[in-house]
């Protein structure tokens, strides 16, 4: 398996494991969904793509076309994680409140929308640092 793929998956797994352990310590219960769920600290998306870009830079050169492309796609993914998906999560919160208000006064039984879809900028930044560090260490 190529080292870039292996180390990037390792960075993703480390980020997801941190979320799992945090949830275990905070809520004192095991929630395996934390290994695959989006959102939370640190951003596994950012860890994965920043690890890819760092490894590409180390192996192919930081002045290579491949590194440039990797950075561009990494920035798009991190922007989406912090921007678009975070905004969608906020909209889900508002819709859930509307459904709850309507439910109290009328009859409706809709499932709640998933509110934690994206990341705050600090979650993306920490995920990025985790991915770069992982790439440099492994």
Helix/strand/coil (H/E/C) assignment for every residue in 34-76: HHCCCCCCCCHHHHHHHHHHHHHHHHHCCCCHHHHHHHHHHHH
pLDDT at residue 112 above 70?
Answer: no
> How far is Cα 20 from Cα 115, in angstroms, rounded to an integer?
18
Q: Does residue 88 fall inside a structural domain?
A: no
pLDDT digit string (tens) for 86-108?
Answer: 667 777 777 777 777 777 766 55
Domain-embedded: residue 132: yes
Report how far Cα 24 is from the mean position of its chain's Cα atoms.
18
pLDDT at 134 exceeding the cut of 80: yes
* Domain that residue 52 falls in: 3-83+118-137
Cβ(136)–Cβ(3) under 8 Å? Answer: no
Burial of 15: CB neighbours in 10 Å, binned 0-12, 13-18, 19+: buried
Average pLDDT over residues 107-116: 57
In the chain, the number of structural domains is 1
Q: pLDDT tens-digit profile of 52-96?
A: 999 999 999 999 999 999 999 999 999 888 777 666 777 777 777
The reported pLDDT for the residue numbered 67 is: 97
Question: How far is CA 83 from its chain centroid?
Answer: 12
Considering only 16-20, 30-34, 102-106, which range has the smallest mean pLDDT? 102-106
Within-domain flag for 101: no
Query: Is residue 104 included in any domain, yes or no?
Result: no
Asked if pLDDT for residue 114 goes beyond 60, the answer is no
Query: What pLDDT sits at residue 18?
Result: 93
Confidence class for position 13, pLDDT limits 50, 70, 90 = very high
- pLDDT beyond 60 at 113: no
């Amino acid at each position: 398996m190529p080292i870039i793929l292996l180390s990037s998956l390792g960075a993703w797994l480390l980020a997801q494991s941190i979320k799992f352990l945090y949830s275990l310590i905070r809520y004192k219960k095991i929630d395996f969904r934390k290994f695959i769920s989006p959102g939370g600290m640190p951003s596994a998306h950012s860890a994965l793509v920043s690890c890819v870009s760092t490894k590409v830079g180390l192996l192919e050169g930081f002045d290579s076309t491949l590194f440039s492309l990797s950075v561009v796609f990494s920035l798009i993914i991190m922007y989406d994680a912090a921007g678009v998906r975070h905004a969608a999560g906020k909209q889900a919160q508002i819709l859930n409140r509307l459904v709850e208000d309507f439910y109290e006064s009328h009859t409706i039984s809709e499932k709640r929308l998933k509110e934690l879809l994206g990341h705050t900028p600090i979650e993306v930044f920490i995920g990025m640092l985790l991915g770069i560090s992982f790439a440099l260490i492994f």
